[in-house]
Structure 1
Amino acid sequence: MPQQRNFHHMNKKGTSLMNIRVLATSTLVGPYIDELGLRFPELCVAPCRSSAWKAGLASAEALIVLLSEPLTEADLDLCPNLRVIGTYSVGINHLPITSCQSRGIRIVNTQGVLTDATADLALTLLLSLTRRVREGEALVRSGHWKGWAPDLLLGTGLTGKTCGILGSGPIGRAFARRVWAIGMKVIFWNREGNQKPVDFGVDIAARLPLDELLRQSDVLSLHCPLTDTTRGLLNREKLDLLPHGAFLINTARGGILDEQAVMELLHQGKIGGVGLDVYENEPDLDPQWLVAPRTVLLPHLGSATLETREAMAKLLCDGIAESLLT
């Protein structure tokens, strides 16, 4: 297990809050924040929005934040020396990207190292839904299971069915390999409108216009970033195009889905099941999800393996160091 460390407002050498070069909101999994502190002794770890964090902004050349800690242009105004922002995530939608670009502030994220972990979790959600794992475990734990029965918790087979994937980046392609291996047909959509077929390593799949893809998707899995193009992409009109009983998986970002429309379709029986690892306005979960039928709900665990989180921390801290040394 990773060692638990307390927040400290000053490093071990007693760096003043008025002379911070690297300002991090949290320790990370593994030793990499500590190692970064050895390279840059003017490193401070203080919770986001705390008084110590605010005091450190004036001198900080590098900020390290989590996905759940959005920054604004007003924050950048308080950081006249800022050269780089590192985020412990692939997604950067919580950062003021345009303002960073105009100010010459580099953004370092953790692209690439969490591909397999996130694709694994998406497959976990899909299999949990279609084989009714949550209900089965609840039955066993309840003490009311009476033994095997011909019609007990019948699920849905996936072999021969079509999986539509929104996003043809590394995670989308990795998920495609996994569902292809269990016998599904794969089709893709991407936000740029590129219609070139997608080579996902073990096969080549068609890339279709969104409406056509939705009409064919027995399973729809989201693997695209949250951008101005994809925010609210799957509204009620689009969701109505899915085949009756389709399954929906989201390990991307919550804002892509119209959550209210999804819940209505679940209650109406038009969607076969929904597996979510991300939510709009998380962690402030819409309480209606807690009573929505045929759902598997996880607390944003896409990259949550020890190996992946350590690799993310190393990549992030290496990127910060490189930015400060060049």
Structure 2
Amino acid sequence: MPAKKKPLVIVTRTLPAVIETRLRELFDARLNEDDHPMTPAELAEAVREADVLVPTVTDRIDSAVLSHAGPNLKLIASFGTGVDHIDVQVAMSRGITVTNTPGVLTDDTADMTMALILAVPRRLAEGFEVLKQGEWAGWSPTWMLGRRITGKRLGILGMGRIGQAVARRARAFGMQIHYHDRRRLPATIEEALEATYWESLDQMLARVDIVSVNCPHTPATYHLLSARRLKLLKKDAYIVNTARGEVIDEAALIRMIEAGDLAGAALDVFENEPEVNPRLIKLARAGRIVILPHMGSATLEGRLDMGEKVIVNIKSFIDGHRPPDRVLLSML
């Protein structure tokens, strides 16, 4: 009896070698050996041919791409937590299941968030730049003064896994935790985190010293931090974003920092990635903000865990079982 044909799994970007090896062992895996970002035409060809597509957050799997989906495409097993790059509703209407890789990047992203919460008020990037340029003349009592974070109010926007992990870390630094989310946490979790819930985002923003953006990008959260809401912040407040750039009105944020209406920001994500607004780069060079190239989840351990989740989701689906990380419209 002939062996059952392996499903064609097309992977859009280069993944860790051990993950790619396992994909080749289990499936007919077509890899992206030079790690180039696939064009819309290449993505359209991939969905036309594949039984399973494994995209990442850099691949826009929208309705235009999905209109080319062949009859064999039944699963999009995304390598990443967010699914804002996929038109999930259109995929489901075409009978395509979508999965992601939640939970495995919580600590990595929370660690980076905490690092940025420290970096901006304490002016770490500025200090490094002074040494890099050979401009340090020695210690002085009044030079390079930053702001203490102990006792400051941290407003967390989005209190899911990552938001709660950020809260635990911030509590260890003596910060007071405030949060806004569409759903209030159970009382037991609130008590453990010593967190204050604000049903009104506007009211929370007006009272906190640092805002940490930890919510997903959905139609409901696009420009959730609008120009109007940004103006509610105190002039000595800071914003940290390790979630998605689209949650903040980036142009309004830039105007406020340039005008001195906001103390600063630390951004790991941008509204038009991979493009970065030149005005943000100018502010970073002037030491007004800290910017990073979307590396909040970039640990070897995290990427391996993500790859293993992708494999489990594909294997479960191919074997006729419900994938453990299936995305539902109610989750968006």
Answer whether contact 2:20 2:31 (CA < 8 A) is retained: no
Residue 55 of structure 2 is aligned to residue 70 of structure 1: no
Asked if 1:23 corresponds to 2:10, the answer is: yes
Say how many residue pairs are matched.
307
Higher mean C-alpha deviation, range 146-155 or range 52-61: 52-61
| SS of the residue 1:186 aligns to | strand
Q: Distance in 2 between matches of 1:213 and 1:103?
A: 41
Cα RMSD, aligned residues only: 2.1
Contact preservation (8 Å) 1:255, 1:279: yes
The one-character-per-residue Cα deviations of 1:257-316 (angstroms, maximum 9, x if unpaired) are 111111111112221110000001101111110112510000000111111111111111
- Deviates further, 261-270 or 50-59: 50-59
Say if 2:277 is the partner of 1:310: no
Match of 1:105 in 2: 96
- 2:311 aligned with 1:324, yes or no? no
Whether contact under 8 Å (1:23, 1:43) holds in the other structure is yes
Distance 1:74 1:50 in 2: 9
Q: Residue 25 of structure 1: CA displacement?
A: 1.2
Query: Taking structure 1 as reference, are residues 215 and 137 closer, same or farther at Cα in structure 2, changes over 3 Å only?
Result: same
Distance 1:152 1:35 in 2: 54
* TM-score when normalising by structure 1: 0.88
Q: Give the letter aligned to residue 130 of structure 2.
A: L
Conserved? CA contact 1:87–1:109, under 8 Å: yes
Further displaced range: 244-253 or 134-143: 134-143
Quick one: which amino acid aligns to residue 300 of structure 2?
L
| Mapping for residues 265-276 of structure 1, pairs under 5 Å | 265-276=256-267
Alpha-carbon distance in 1 for matches of 2:267, 2:238: 11
Is the contact between residue 85 and residue 108 of structure 1 (CA under 8 Å) also seen in structure 2? yes
Aligned residue among 298, 301, 314 for 2:295: 301
Aligned to 1:38: 25
Partner in structure 2 of residue 8 of structure 1: none
Secondary structure, aligned partner of 1:74 = helix
**Mapping for residues 171-250 of structure 1, pairs under 5 Å:** 171-190=162-181, 192=182, 194=184, 199=189, 202-208=192-198, 209-250=200-241
The whole-number CA distance in structure 2 between the counterparts of 1:23 and 1:49 is: 14
SS in 2 for 1:270: coil
Structure 1: how far apart are the matches of 2:189 and 2:43? 45
**Partner secondary structure for residue 313 of structure 1:** helix
3-state SS of 2:49 partner: coil
Give the letter for the 1:154 counterpart: L
Measure, in 1, the Cα distance between the counterparts of 2:242 and 2:301.
Answer: 19
**Structure 1 residue 57, shift from structure 2 partner:** 3.3
Shift of 1:39: 1.2
Partner in structure 2 of residue 58 of structure 1: 48
* CA distance 1:272–1:53, shift in 2 (3 Å): closer
Name the amino acid aligned to 2:68.
Answer: L
Q: Runs of 5+ in structure 2 lacking a partner?
A: 321-332
Using the alignment, how far apart are the partners of 2:7 and 2:41 within structure 1?
Answer: 14
> Quick one: distance in 2 between partners of 1:76 and 1:54?
7
Q: Which residue of 1 aligns with 2:159?
A: 168
Match of 2:138 in 1: 147
**3-state SS in 1 of match to 2:223:** coil
CA contact (8 A) 2:45 2:68 kept: no
Paired with 2:12 and 2:301, the residues of 1 have a C-alpha distance of 21
Q: Is the contact between residue 235 and residue 262 of structure 2 (CA under 8 Å) also seen in structure 1? A: yes
Structure 2 Cα separation of the partners of residues 22 and 39 of structure 1:
10
Q: Specify the alignment match of 1:3 in structure 2.
A: none
Amino acid at match of 2:309: L
Conserved 8 A contact 1:252-1:278: yes
Structure 1 residues 55 and 236, CA gap change in structure 2 (3 angstroms)? closer
Give me the whole-angstrom Cα distance separating, in 1, the residues matched to 2:44 and 2:252: 40
TM-score using structure 2 length:
0.87
